Amino acid sequence: MNSQVEKKFREFFSLDRETIARDFDRVILLKYRKLRLHPREVDGFLHWCNAMMRYCDGEGKHILDAGCGIGIPSLGFTASKHPPAKITSLDPSPGKIEVMRKIAGFMGAGENVVTPVHGDAMDTGFEKESFDAVFAKDMVSHVSDRDRFYSEVSRVLKPGGIFLITDENNALDVMGHAERERIWKKVEEGPLDQDSWMKRTYREERKRIIEMLRPDLSPEIIEELAVKSRGMWGDGLKSAIEDYKSNIDFVNDSDFPYRDPVSGQYMEYPLDPNQVVRDLKKYGFQAGILRPVFQTGSGVKKLAGGFIRLMHPISILFQPNFYLRAVKSS
229: left (phi over 0), alpha (psi -120 to 50) or beta: alpha
Could you tell me if residue 222 is inside a domain? yes
- Are 156 and 131 in contact by the 8 Å Cβ rule? The answer is yes
Q: What angle do CA 196, 28, 231 make, to 5 degrees?
A: 20
The better pLDDT of the pair 147, 315 is held by 147
Percent of residues, the chain, with pLDDT higher than 70: 96
Looking at the structure, do residues 165 and 184 belong to the same domain, yes or no? Answer: no
Residues 129-153 have pLDDT tens digits of 999 999 999 999 999 999 999 999 9
Percent of residues, the chain, with pLDDT higher than 90: 73
Of 1-15, 29-43, 185-199, 220-234, least confident by mean pLDDT is: 29-43
Looking at the structure, do residues 7 and 68 belong to the same domain, yes or no? Answer: yes
Could you tell me if residue 257 is inside a domain? no
What is the pLDDT, as a whole number, of residue 264? 97
Looking at the structure, do residues 82 and 118 belong to the same domain, yes or no? Answer: yes
Looking at the structure, do residues 28 and 133 belong to the same domain, yes or no? Answer: yes
The predicted model gives 53-64 an average pLDDT of 96
Residues 162-181 have pLDDT tens digits of 999 999 999 999 889 999 99
Q: Give the chain's domain count.
A: 2
Looking at the structure, do residues 101 and 160 belong to the same domain, yes or no? Answer: yes
SS3 content of the chain, % helix, strand, coil (to 5): 45, 15, 40
187-212: b (≥16 Cβ within 10 Å) or e: bbeeeeeeeeeeeebbbbbbbbbbee
Looking at the structure, do residues 70 and 219 belong to the same domain, yes or no? Answer: no
What is the pLDDT, as a whole number, of residue 200? 95
What is the pLDDT, as a whole number, of residue 17? 84
What is the pLDDT, as a whole number, of residue 38? 77
The predicted model gives 262-282 an average pLDDT of 97
What is the pLDDT, as a whole number, of residue 299? 66
Please tell me the distance from the alpha carbon of residue 175 to that of residue 180, in angstroms, as a whole number.
Answer: 10
- Are 215 and 242 in contact by the 8 Å Cβ rule? The answer is no
Element holding 87 (H helix, E strand): strand 86-91
What is the pLDDT, as a whole number, of residue 303? 72
Of 10-14, 183-187, 296-300, least confident by mean pLDDT is: 296-300
Domain final position from 203, 223, 242: 242
Number of residues written out for the chain: 330
3-state secondary structure of 91: strand
Instruction: Find the domain containing 195 and state its range.
Output: 176-242
Looking at the structure, do residues 187 and 165 belong to the same domain, yes or no? Answer: no
Looking at the structure, do residues 86 and 114 belong to the same domain, yes or no? Answer: yes
91: which strand partners? Answer: 118
Q: Please, which pLDDT band fits residue 201 given cuts at 50, 70 and 90? A: very high
Looking at the structure, do residues 57 and 30 belong to the same domain, yes or no? Answer: yes
Looking at the structure, do residues 219 and 86 belong to the same domain, yes or no? Answer: no
Please tell me the distance from the alpha carbon of residue 269 to that of residue 254, in angstroms, as a whole number.
Answer: 14
What is the pLDDT, as a whole number, of residue 37? 67
